[in-house]
Structure 1
Amino acid sequence: MFDRICVPTDGSDAAAAAFEHTLAIAADHGATVHLLHVADTTRDSVTRIGGDVVDVLEQEGESIVEEAAARAVDRGVDAETAVRQGGVPETVAAYAEEVDADLVAMSTRGRQGVEHLVGSTTERVVRQSPVPVLALRPGDEAVPYPYEDVLVPTDGSPAATAALDRAIPIAERAGATVHVLSVVDTGGIGIADHVEVDALSEYADDAVAEGVERVEAAGLEAVGAVEVASSAARGIRAYVDDPGVDLVAMGTHGRTGVGRYLLGSVAERTLRSAPVPVLTVPVPEEQEE
């Protein structure tokens, strides 16, 4: 499923820990990791050493990606390296497209005081990336891989379906259980709005049933659930904590109006709060409503 994985790295401990999890995925899929360091062009980095003019950030970046490549080789994983200058989100997105990556895997944290892989940067990469992004929090290297329980939040939108279609092959690696969840978001509903709650619950039931059918058609075990919560992100987080989910796979956006759910802000809040890896999946333009 994954052949080329783009791995942005800034050399931080958090990025190194996330890379261990990524290497497990790459080894399982026989994928090549494309290691990328983005030299921050907002910092003055050119200096003279002896008679040579050098870019110290680029030099540092070369050292970072070469060290990571050596770790990959030790695990039997092929690695390519690159150092580029520019803004991090747009450079990562452009490089992923350049190498025809089918996944970007990156830490949600990075160096203190350096805007490389800080949480907000990860969110901006998610918005711009043409391919799915696997966001890994510090500590995610302890999450088992292959995953045993995969959660796919759904609102029945093309984005949710795209996420489910990505999650199913991942789950097939170890026969994982796929949890299909729809959250009835009551945050904007008044106490007297029982009719709207009922309508949203019915809509959620249909979305979950459709997702469960898709999973079972692939020969995997499916668990369907509809939860009521004050926000979609809170409902997702509560479900992750309860059954012991190993991975959340979700669309980067979804429906608006009555069916609203996987809007960008929900995906971003899940990235910030989920204690497990989060795979965000962009919907192909031709499938958008």
Structure 2
Amino acid sequence: MFERILVPTDRSDPARRALEQAADLATRYDATLTALHVVDTRELDGGSGVDERTAAARAELDDALDELAVDPTPEGVVRAGIPNEEILDYADDAGMDLIVMGTHGRTGVRRYLLGSVAEKVVRLSDVPVLNVHPAEVDVGSVPYERILVPTDGSDRASVAVDCATDLATTYGAELHTVSVVDTGAMAPDVQFDVIMDQLQNRARTAVETVAETAREAGVEDTQTAVLEGRAHDAIRSYADDERIDLIVMGTHGRSGLDRYLLGSVAEKLVRTASVPVLTVRMPEE
């Protein structure tokens, strides 16, 4: 599934964690691994200092790859520009099929502010993006032992399910699949109980279908659950309770201005989950 993996790095703790997980994935998938350092030209005074910063970034990147001690040694690339744009352009030009990124842990209102490089890449990337948080010391480590894939039962969700199933097979991991009945989005209704029964039945069918597909693909251990509540909160709580190591989540296929807008369940999980979140873009409807 993954043949060419890109990991942007800046020598921060989140980036080092991302590089470690990218290296493990590259080893298991026999994939090539490229580390990309982008010198942010917005931090420079005009064009001055680009050569010096680029040379320093090259030395730091070489040191990081030497410390990684994997064989073969990943390729290192240094570019100058706006980080999210350079990452996406390089991934497209080089035919990458996975981006692994470190995201900075934030609390309070800062968790909901727009602007991080990782969030922009998640929103705009056409290839899967694995987001790794700096807090993941005892959780979310590799090898992945428990993988979670939420589903809504739609055909579009099958892209994330296929990716999660492949990862579970590769890692020999448990595959957990959940479907959330979003009670927060429901208005009071005289037929509330009937509607809830229908939604729960649909959710049970969705997770059982995923579990059966996974078993047919060779996943030996599957777990299913139907949850209630706000989707991102319910998924995050389940991941914490079940000691999930990786969440694989579909993002809606969007184009134009819609791809820049904030608010999907996947993006909220990228900001708030305590474990890595792999986002897979669903086909546009």
Q: TM-score range by the shorter chain?
A: 0.7 to 0.9
1:70 equivalenced with 2:66 (yes/no): yes
Q: Which residue of 2 aligns with 1:225?
A: 225
Question: SS at 2:134's partner residue?
Answer: coil
Whether the 8 Å CA contact 1:89–1:128 is kept in 2: the answer is: no
In 1, Cα distance between equivalents of 2:53 and 2:234: 42
TM-score, length of structure 1 as denominator length: 0.83
> CA RMSD, aligned part only?
2.5
Q: Which residue of 2 aligns with 1:132?
A: 128
In 1, Cα distance between equivalents of 2:266 and 2:47: 41
Q: Structure 2: which amino acid aligns with 1:204?
A: A
* TM-fit CA distance, 1:216: 1.3
In 2, Cα distance between equivalents of 1:175 and 1:47: 50
TM-score, length of structure 2 as denominator length: 0.84
In 1, Cα distance between equivalents of 2:115 and 2:279: 14
In the alignment of these two chains, the number of paired residues is 266
Report matched runs for 1:103-142 at 5 Å.
103-109=98-104, 120-140=116-136, 142=138
Structure 2, unaligned runs of 5 or more: 106-113, 255-261
Q: Structure 1: which amino acid aligns with 2:234?
A: G
In 2, Cα distance between equivalents of 1:194 and 1:243: 29
Q: Which residue of 1 aligns with 2:57?
A: 61
Report matched runs for 1:1-289 at 5 Å.
1-45=1-45, 55-72=51-68, 74-109=69-104, 120-140=116-136, 142=138, 143-192=140-189, 193-220=192-219, 221-229=221-229, 231-253=230-252, 265-283=264-282, 285=283, 288-289=284-285
* TM-fit CA distance, 1:67: 1.8
Q: Structure 1: which amino acid aligns with 2:200?
A: S
Whether the 8 Å CA contact 1:26–1:77 is kept in 2: the answer is: no
Structure 1 vs Structure 2: percent identity of aligned residues? 42
What is the CA deviation profile of residues 56-89 of structure 1, one whole-angstrom value per residue up to 9, with x for unaligned ones? 33223212322222234x2224311212222222
In 2, Cα distance between equivalents of 1:63 and 1:205: 53
Q: Structure 2: which amino acid aligns with 1:92?
A: I
Question: SS at 2:65's partner residue?
Answer: helix
Whether the 8 Å CA contact 2:2–2:29 is kept in 1: the answer is: yes
Whether the 8 Å CA contact 2:253–2:281 is kept in 1: the answer is: no
Whether the 8 Å CA contact 2:100–2:132 is kept in 1: the answer is: yes
Q: Structure 2: which amino acid aligns with 1:68?
A: A
Whether the 8 Å CA contact 1:39–1:86 is kept in 2: the answer is: yes
User: Would the alpha carbon gap of residues 194 and 60 (structure 1) be closer, same or farther in structure 2, given more than 3 Å must change?
Assistant: farther
* TM-fit CA distance, 1:126: 0.8
Q: Structure 2: which amino acid aligns with 1:97?
A: D
* TM-fit CA distance, 1:167: 1.1
Structure 1, unaligned runs of 5 or more: 111-117, 256-262
In 2, Cα distance between equivalents of 1:57 and 1:45: 12
Runs of 4+ in 1 over 6 A off after TM superposition: none
Question: SS at 1:209's partner residue?
Answer: helix
Question: SS at 2:164's partner residue?
Answer: helix
Whether the 8 Å CA contact 1:119–1:272 is kept in 2: the answer is: no
